[in-house]
Amino acid sequence: SAAANKLKLLLSFAVGGLLGDVFLHLLPEAWATVDKDGQHNHSGHTTIGLWVLAGILSFLIIEKIFAKEGEFEHMHDDCDSSNEEEEEQDHSRSKKINTDLPKINGCDLKQRTNASDSGIKNRNKKQNSQVQSSQKVASSTQCTDSTEDKTSNIKVSGYLNLLANVIDNFTHGLAVGGSFLVSNKVGFITTLAILLHEIPHEVGDFAILLRSGFDRWKAAKAQMMTASGGILGVIAALTAESAESAGENTAWILPFTSGGFIYIALVTVVPDLLDEKHALESLKQIVCLCGGVAAMLLVSLIH
């Protein structure tokens, strides 16, 4: 449908924005904190790489632990359909056997088997009526619990994206708080640069939340709640001894967040885009992905 195609275009933009944020903003900033005085610090770069891997593995483990139980229900449906086919084949075989039965003691064995089959059918009818009545009761209870089902249908990837955004906003809060410790002018410039950086990022995050099962209002509220991470970052920077000490103590956050963004982009969103078979829609998605990268590149150049 048209709505699904538009959502996939937004998801493509989100993938480009996340990857652009990682490789054009977060990791270069982390490398800059390691390479001081123009000297290459190999062990520091290795540590950053380990933190990126830690972020990817952490998000993988979290999604494994909190994955929904009904994720593989379609496999059970396939098994049920195959069992029904086997039962139909057995029933047709029994019919063939009944037509070939001989007469013994003046009685037709076919009549005996038909009589027994009729008794079995009656019992099956009773059981089916009981099953139908129980299904009606279950459907009525499902209607009352529809609101709970809507919240339970939200995928874990949506909450992982919110977690990554909270951590990312924390780093932004550190930057804003530390810049205001230097001077008000530097603080205002840093705040403006971060706001420009967040515009394409938030558009992509909104699309990821919609894909994860959030409705528009819940997605907007969730994104507003992630701003609390920025407030905590500002408090941490202002209460630290200096901006440099705050940056050194939280240097691991940038590569860890990068790993989370890489996992969300390549593991959570890209598989949905690979399902597209239409050539024109695939081309549009690639263009939107490049647009997300270009937006982050433009923001990085301005920053």
**pLDDT tens digit sequence for 241-252:** 655 666 666 778
Average pLDDT over residues 178-202: 79
CA distance 68 to 110: 51
Confidence of residue 282 (pLDDT cuts 50, 70, 90): very high
Percentage of the chain exceeding pLDDT 70: 67
Average pLDDT over residues 187-198: 80
Which residue, 175, 208, 206, is CA-closest to 190? 175
| Cβ 265 vs Cβ 21: under 8 Å | no
Look at residue 140 and tell me whether its pLDDT is greater than 50.
no
Instruction: Tell me the pLDDT tens digit for each residue of 157-172.
Output: 888 888 888 888 888 8
Question: What contacts 251, CB < 8 A, 6 or more positions away?
Answer: 30, 33, 34
Average pLDDT over all residues of the chain: 75
What is the SS3 assignment for 101? coil
Q: Which residue has the higher pLDDT, 158 or 88?
A: 158
In this predicted structure, what is the pLDDT of residue 3? 81
- Composition of the chain by helix, strand, coil, percent to 5: 85, 0, 10
In this predicted structure, what is the pLDDT of residue 262? 92
Structure tokens at 96: 């063939």
Confidence of residue 293 (pLDDT cuts 50, 70, 90): very high
In this predicted structure, what is the pLDDT of residue 89? 64
Look at residue 110 and tell me whether its pLDDT is greater than 50.
no
Radius of gyration of the chain from its Cα atoms, rounded to whole angstroms: 30
Look at residue 50 and tell me whether its pLDDT is greater than 90.
yes
Structure tokens at 9: 């275009």
Look at residue 290 and tell me whether its pLDDT is greater than 60.
yes
